[in-house]
Structure 1
Amino acid sequence: MDYFKHLLYDYFISLGMSSTTASYLNMLALFIGLLILVFIIDFIVRRILLTMFSKLAEKSKSNFDDIMVKNKVFRNVAHIIPLIVAIEYVPMVFLDFPYWENIIEKTLLVFGIILTLRIVRSFLNTLKDYFKTLPRLKDKPIDSFIQVFMIFAWVLGFLSALAIITGVEFLQFITGLGAASAVVILVFRDTILGFVASIQVSINDMVRIGDWITFEKYGADGDVIEINLSTVKVQNFDKTITTIPTYALISDSFKNWRGMTSSGGRRIKRALSIKLSSIKYLTVNEVDKLKNIQIISNYLLTRQNDIEKFNTTNNADKVLLLNGRNLTNLGVFRKYLETYIENHSAINKDMTIMVRQLAPTSQGIPIEVYAFSSDKRWQNYEYIMADIFDHVIAAVPYFDLEVYELSTGVLESN
């Protein structure tokens, strides 16, 4: 080893050069030789590793090794051996220049830390991509956990690099930073909040990738496409992207539609306001006329018989319709709607079906349809609901009822 250290030095001296010049030229020549050696070793090791693991990945049934190749894990690992060679031979190159030897060694050690971080990052990215291929994990906030590990790794690497540069022992350096912990917490406030939120979101299963959420505060209404440490990305139905702070998911209120999408139907809850002045008792002739409506003809026949028996038993004076029991056009209409909804092919019969009367308002008396469509897709759901209410609105006049409409004050011409 000593022979190579002074081989060129002695040659330059023999050429009549001064000792200083010979030392600089010797150092420069050795440095160039070391660079060439490092690049050759790096090329050879990289080619061997990439070839070997690429063939292994092709033969393996698991896609984990394929993802490792894709994320350049082996390419980064291949740089370790050339780095070790460089660190080993730097003292020989800078034998007569201890100042530069110290700087180069520190530079190589810092580069080693950066290389380690790159290896860790590529491996974590491999885990992230692999976990997303697993059905039970693909909707979990894997990005958040990977980012947390990377933040800790980067902080640790940064502190290690500072310890190397300053020449202070790592533990002593960390102890000295204790007084600055408050500043560190302040700087990484959002990151810490995001980390805590990510854990709570994952443990409580509040949001998954693919969930439809509505977050009015941030104007978000669409599908969750990404969950990471600091933000949640929502693709709205108009294809815009809304970014929400992760910690907002636990500090603010939002709506997750997962329960609806995993259920047997999507809720229809819409009311139609009937004009109060159009509600009345039905005469026998009017009831007989309504019996022509097939889906309620049996109901009307049964109800009419029951009412007649009651009125006869109680001697009700039917000269005035108010006396005794009577059918109303609104009640028959409500029964018609309920029967119509129950027989509708697009309604889930295993879920709640109800047509109810709400409290009267200045805009009339609302008749609300409450049911669940079997098809939960937005476009089809809107079509089903529109189809139902097209029919409902068109059916109103058959019961001598009127839909309430706010008067515009403009007289219509005949």
Structure 2
Amino acid sequence: MYVGLSAATGAATGCHYILGWSFGLNRDAPPLDLSKLPKLPRQGSPTKRSTEVLAIELTLAAIILLLISTAAVILIIRRRKKFAEMHEDWELEYGPHRFSYKDLYRATKGFDEQNLLGVGGFGRVYKGVLPTSKMEIAVKKISHDSKQGMREFISEIVSMGRLRHRNLVQLLGYCRRQGELLLVYDYITNGSLDRYIFDLKRPPLSWSQRFHAIKGVAAGLLYLHDGWEKLVIHRDIKASNVLMDREFNGRLGDFGLARLYDHGTNPQTTHIVGTLGYLAPELSMTGKATTQTDVYAFGAFLLEVACGRRPMDVHAPEDTPNLVTYVLECWKMDAIAEATDPKLGDDYSVKEVELVLMLGLLCSHPDPMARPSMKQVMQFLEGDAPLPMTTAGSLISSVSKQRYDRMFDDFITSYPSFSDASRHVTDSATLFSTAADFAMQLDA
């Protein structure tokens, strides 16, 4: 015989315990002695051991949570410090022209070396793509530890952002951090002109492409000097600051050293900045960057592009003449075209080459008053006016000017604040304190 037991609690769940049972067949079941039945087990009653385990688990969980929270706080602080910027009240009016460092960091993939476009004496340039607009940009990082003049500098940078010319690289805005300034430009596809002149791995530009780039840079510089609401002195004209767009138009860029003045005003005395070989001799005496010092640098640029040589090579042997002297010697021998870049072969216009070389010498004249204006330069390049009737001898007839030019080069290259690697001039008050001694040498 089998006996089955069952229990039900409806839809609810529960536990059922059989502590005892009594059964009778064809008679009454014998009574149960409840006092002898076992007690019901206590539900949910933890043992001492389980209580200790639970306490340990809770303690470990609390420690882990504390460590995670601490790590999160440290990460947030570091992240904020990583993307920290400098903001001052006077910058509020320049808000639309300011980029966030976080956007620039993401655009350049953390300023990855693979996005490095170039390195100069004043900073490193990176390619980037803005995360929201997908616009291609070039970001130049400049060390700037001093707050002195920062407000005026930012004001000029923002003002130059309004410059509009097909032969200028558009300056989009800036970002400022502790000890660092970032300038944001349009990205120009084909890179800098100097790479096409000096990089042997690239096919050299033809003469027609070089001449087209020269005229483009001249047009852009004329706009800076005469075509805008203010006078802009670029102060760093050279092939590495000329960028080539898709159509190989030359576009003058890098306005990090540029200065603004009202038309007709006298430029202020500043520290000498620029690149060796492009600095006008009078800068050591006056300390004033003018349109004529820009013209001098443009003359060095003309010779650089036509000859395929840098105006001054600090790594060349000591007896190597500078570029102006070399071209002058060729002109004196009535063979100025021999100074042309050998990589061009015979594929060039002799008339155009001679025009560029002679104009380069004229712009590099030691006397600033003898240099043409950029308006005249454009007329010469476009063939709207002939070059002044002159000879090589007339350019070097003044012994004092020859000595002035040569002694200036010696003075600059011997000054300790110049870097052979970058060939750039750095700020220095000492440079001006020795200018008087230099002037006395000229009169000796």
- Give the TM-score of the pair, scaled to structure 1: 0.22
Larger helix percent: 1
Q: TM-score, normalised by structure 2?
A: 0.21
